[in-house]
Amino acid sequence: ATAANEQRRIQHFVKFANIPPGKRILEVGSGLGILSLALAAGGAEEVIGVDVSLGMLEHAEYIRLSNPSAITPKVNFRLAPAQMLPFRSDTFDAVVCRLVLHHSRVPERILQEMVRVLKPDGIFAFADLVGSEHPVKRATFNAIEARRNPSHVTTRTIDQYQTLIQGAHLTIEAEEMVTFERDLENWLAELQSDPADWQPVREMIEAAMETDAAGINARRRGDRVAFDQNVLYVRAIKQ
């Protein structure tokens, strides 16, 4: 169920990104490669996914090769840092970046690199976690997310993302705030981390539940706990 839900969220983003067929696409922070494969299935000519995690890239390559089809040769994965992409300027028709910037202390540098390798008038499609406008609630959620996933740095507000994107010489064409209902146990299981580490995260979310201290509308669903995950989608064009 967790994989099926993630697939639905990815398809939702692909539809929003609306990249015409026959394009050369770069995915920055490709992780397990599910989005790269979905973009190829949607008609891309070529998709290159880059990530800094060798383990993720190996897993992505395993997924790519375990379901051979006409799209398999169109997708390739490479080890590369987002802030130093190994490509010439003006190379790609589109660059996509999903759930990456919340891991970064230098989002400006990453955006600058993504825009550099994007052709003029190319499409930049972006999705990332949105934090509460209330700074204390946002800080509380950041503490919870960092306990679950130590590579998390910070969620940002819609205004902060807009400022970053416009500062990178991108013109925002479309944006959408999407709210996904997440199941706490599925969310914890996503990272394949040690289940012994999950209990403090459960306790933090339950402690924040009554007053919505983390700004995520955590609530009980029978014997489960659910919460809202807000994600900003942006489609922009390189100036």
Report the CATH number that the domain containing residue 12 is assigned in CATH: 3.40.50.150
For residue 85, count other CB atoms closer than 10 A to its CB: 22
In a domain, 64, yes or no: yes
Q: Which pair of structure tokens corresponds to residue 207?
A: 């402690």
pTM score? 0.94
Predicted local distance difference test score (pLDDT) of residue 157 = 96
Enumerate residue ranges in the chain where pLDDT < 70: 1
Tokens 């994965």 label which residue? 77
In a domain, 31, yes or no: yes
Total domains in the fold of the chain: 1
In whole angstroms, how far apart are CA 84 and each of 34, 35, 53? 23, 21, 15
In a domain, 55, yes or no: yes
Residues of the domain holding 51:
2-130+154-180+229-238
Q: Which residues have CB under 8 Å from 6's CB, separation 6+? A: 34, 190
